[in-house]
Amino acid sequence: MEIQAFGYLGVATAKLDDWTALATKGLGMEAVDRGGGTRAFRMDDRTQRLVLDGELPNGTNYFGWEVANADALDALAARLERAGVAVRREPASLADQRFVSGLISFRDPSGNRLEAFHGAAIADTPFRPSRLISGFRAGPLGMGHVLVAVQDIDAALAFYRDLLGFRISDYSLAPVKAYFLHVNPRHHSIALVQAPVNVLNHLMVELYSLDDVGQGYDLALMDREKIVATLGRHSNDFMTSFYMRTPSEFFIEYGWGGREVDDATWQPHEVDTLASFWGHDGLFSAVGAEDPPVELRHDSQNRQRRAPVQVMEGNYTPVKGVCAWWDAMTEQGRQ
């Protein structure tokens, strides 16, 4: 397994100023001066995570996937070529623009430009968010995840799972066919959803604090039209998040509290609904589908629609139980 993380996203756009305002004032990323028609943004110790390119044709996004070293990159290129995938060894000049040591590029079955790289540059200075946030949960987990709509989901699944080595976390077969794939403990680094068109649907970035997301939601509410889906909690990766529009044709999911998977114990499984535990109103209608009925989220007589909150050491304070009934229930759950 060569691919270790989703390293960066490149977005071709003529709306550089609008994107800069969103990335800094809205998301809290740190702007990095690249000059010319390129702007870049940091999320952690990496030199850049999000790159905006005003010189590429609009909608020409590229996805950067990280491998461990040069040998892993060569092995991945060889495997792709044996499978008949055209691979380009990119010149040092392009690798320098991406701030990586080595770089190849190729296309997935839907035509998306994928880049694999090793040796991402570490910035000389600590990450400084552009607004007061606790920081992004990135590092070895990567910059977040992407959801990509594809016309031929079987071909896409074969490519990402069988050729690139991504692993299935969970999947849905009806009413929507979708696969959520991971390459590290993050529940998924890419989601593939069958649709009439091939398009990037959204980029998810995860924060360290729930308050960061809530305050980001407050900021987004200042222009209500920018909100695609209300604050809610997903039922498969447990992410508490909301979705907002970007100056491009895809959305940003701004979230907290995503679950992790452990390959030693995790078993891929089919989920019976993609409806959230609560909230996320507007998420399905934003792509021309119907939002799941509310009763699917609140069918308390037949199924449990809740899960423990996913927290890290140092990011919570336990409180003592004050209800004998609750104490008895939690003790029963431990038995």
Stretch 132-139: mean pLDDT, rounded?
97
pLDDT at 183 over 60: yes
Residue of 243 and 317 predicted with greater confidence: 243
């990766």: which residue's tokens? 237
pLDDT at 199 over 60: yes
Residues 75-106: pLDDT tens digits?
A: 999 999 999 999 999 999 999 999 999 999 99
pLDDT at 333 over 90: no
pTM of the model: 0.94
Q: How confident is the model at residue 34 (pLDDT cuts 50, 70, 90)?
A: confident
Angle at CA 23, nearest 5°, toward 68 and 142?
A: 20
Query: Using alpha carbons only, how large is the chain's radius of gyration in Å?
Result: 20
Q: How confident is the model at residue 318 (pLDDT cuts 50, 70, 90)?
A: confident
Q: Whole-angstrom Cα distance, residue 208 to residue 140?
A: 15
Residues 260-280: pLDDT tens digits?
A: 999 999 999 999 888 899 999
Dihedral, CA of residue 291, residue 219, residue 240 and residue 5, to nearest 10 = 110
Least trusted range by pLDDT, from 18-22, 126-130, 172-176: 172-176
The dihedral built from the CA positions of residue 63, 64, 67 and 69, taken in this order, carries a sign that is positive
Q: How confident is the model at residue 301 (pLDDT cuts 50, 70, 90)?
A: very low
Stretch 208-218: mean pLDDT, rounded?
97
Position 242 scores a pLDDT of: 98
As given in the structure block, the two tokens for residue 205 are: 């970035």
Q: How confident is the model at residue 297 (pLDDT cuts 50, 70, 90)?
A: low
pLDDT at 298 over 80: no
Share of the chain above pLDDT 90, in %: 79
Residues 215-240: pLDDT tens digits?
A: 999 999 999 999 999 999 999 999 99
In the Cβ-directed half-sphere of 134, how many Cα atoms lie within 13 Å?
15
